[in-house]
Structure 1
Amino acid sequence: MNVIKRRAATRMARSLVALTATGAALAVSAPQAAAHTELDTSSPGAQATLSGLPPNATLTFSDSMTQKYAKVAVTGPDGKSTAAGDPQVDGKTVTLPLETGSPAGRYTVGYRVVSADGHPVSGSYTFTVKAAGGPSPSPRADQSAAAPPSPAARAAQADGAGAESSGTDISALVGGGALVLTLAAVGVYVVRRRRAGHGS
């Protein structure tokens, strides 16, 4: 009787151990089954501000992607697609070529991909391309180089220079004549003084 009870207890203990092991295995595998593929990194990044549209938009996910179901779109501020080709999958990375000549403004990146194990992932984000600096303003008239004088202006300048030269010559002649007269007057005065001295 005791042998039968011991065998029953042993069987029950073995069943409990098996159930416990199965429960532990399920507990470990459950988080992995519930895990979803996510977007890890992107270039351009969300809310980034760039000086120009890059040649590619690159999205990197936490799992490998399937080429057949990789859908990526980049829409410009005018609502038009800026894609220059189809998205290409390389493992966990999806790359979309872009038209670099697209206008400045806010861009939207939208994606819907399926990982190799069948998990779909979708989402969107935005980034901004700022306008390039405009052309430098042309110099104002007062800041530009002086224009060459017209023929009439050159003639007027020549006449003014000639008049000034003539005035200078006349002034020199008048001054020279006054000096000669002054010297003559002094000479006459000296001669008279000498004669007056001898006469006395």
Structure 2
Amino acid sequence: MHVIDRRAARTAARFLVVPAALAALAVAAPQAAAHTELESSSPGEGAALAGQPPRVTLTFSDPMTQKYAKVAVTGADGKSAAEGRPQVDGKTVTLALKADAPAGRYTVGYRVVSADGHPVSGSYAFTVKAAEKTPGPSDTPSAAAPASPTASPRPEADRASDESGGATVPALAGAGALAVAGAVGVYATRRKRARDGD
């Protein structure tokens, strides 16, 4: 009787222990399978910027290690736009960029390792547009510049002739008026004499 009870207890224990172990594994499995991921980036994937950004910032779901942080930013010509090495601050990895890097398409590639040993790698691209040229002082017409070639100063001789010509017109007009007045006076005197003679 006791032998049967012991066997039943062992069988029951086996049936209870196995599901409990499986349940514990099921709870732990999602945590073990959870890998570090890139949560956000600046500039973002596919971004079109008016000017070169000062840095690229990558934010991950877990803290990163400085030793294994690798980030590269390359232009369409294959040249690096990075200034220095990536810097890690908790979950954030930052890489400074050259201020004089040309416009164009840039690819960001990264391979980092989280503090708990999970490696993360990937890449994406963004575009920097060429800056529009703003008109400078040399692009605007000068107010002091002559409007046309004919507006250049004339020689003194031309101006003197204009001035003398301007003075001659009133003088001629006055002389003509005196001549007309004299002619009228002569005509009137002759008529008077003719009447007196009659």
Asked whether the two chains share a fold, i.e. TM above 0.5, the reply is yes
Which sits farther off after the overlay, 7-16 or 89-98? Answer: 7-16
Equivalent in the alignment of 1:18: 17
Deviation at 1:143, TM superposition (A): 9.0
In the alignment, what sits opposite 1:185?
183
Measure, in 1, the Cα distance between the counterparts of 2:153 and 2:18: 113
C-alpha displacement of 1:40 = 0.6
Provide the C-alpha distance between the structure 2 equivalents of 1:65 and 1:89, rounded to a whole number of angstroms.
7
Query: Does the CA contact (< 8 Å) of 1:87 and 1:95 recur in 2?
Result: yes
How far apart, CA to CA, are the structure 1 residues paired with 2:85 and 2:141?
53
Identity over aligned residues, as a percent? 58
Aligned partner of 1:63 in structure 2 is: 62
Q: Do the aligned partners of 1:57 and 1:96 also contact (CA within 8 Å) in 2?
A: yes
Match of 1:41 in 2: 40
Structure 1 CA distance for aligned equivalents of residues 98 and 169 of structure 2: 80
Matched, 1:80 2:79: yes
Q: Give the superposed CA RMSD.
A: 3.2
Shift of 1:26: 1.5
Tell me the amino acid that sits aligned with residue 122 of structure 1. Answer: S
Contact 1:52-1:100 at 8 Å conserved across structures: no
The CA distance in 2 between the partners of 1:23 and 1:141, in whole Å, is 84
Task: Give the distance between the partners of 1:186 and 1:196, measured in 2 at CA.
Answer: 15
Q: Which moved more, 1:178-187 or 1:129-138?
A: 129-138
* Pair 115,142 (structure 1): closer, same or farther in 2 beyond 3 Å: closer
In 2, are the aligned partners of 1:51 and 1:129 still within 8 Å (CA)? yes
**Letter matched to residue 123 of structure 1:** G
Map of 1:1-200 to 2, 5 A cutoff?
Answer: 1=1, 9=8, 11-134=10-133, 136=135, 138-139=138-139, 145-146=145-146, 154-155=154-155, 158-198=156-196
- Shift, 1:123, TM fit: 0.8
Aligned length in residues = 194
Question: Given the two structures, how large is their TM-score scaled by the length of structure 2?
Answer: 0.78
Q: Structure 2 unaligned segments of length 5 or more: list them.
A: none
Flag the 1:8–1:99 CA change in 2: closer, same or farther, 3 A: same
> Could you give the per-residue CA deviations for residues 71-122 of structure 1, whole angstroms, max 9, x where no partner exists?
1111223322222222222221111222222222111111111112221111
Structure 1 residue ranges without an equivalent (≥5): none
- Partner Cα separation in structure 2 for residue 140 and residue 86 of structure 1: 44
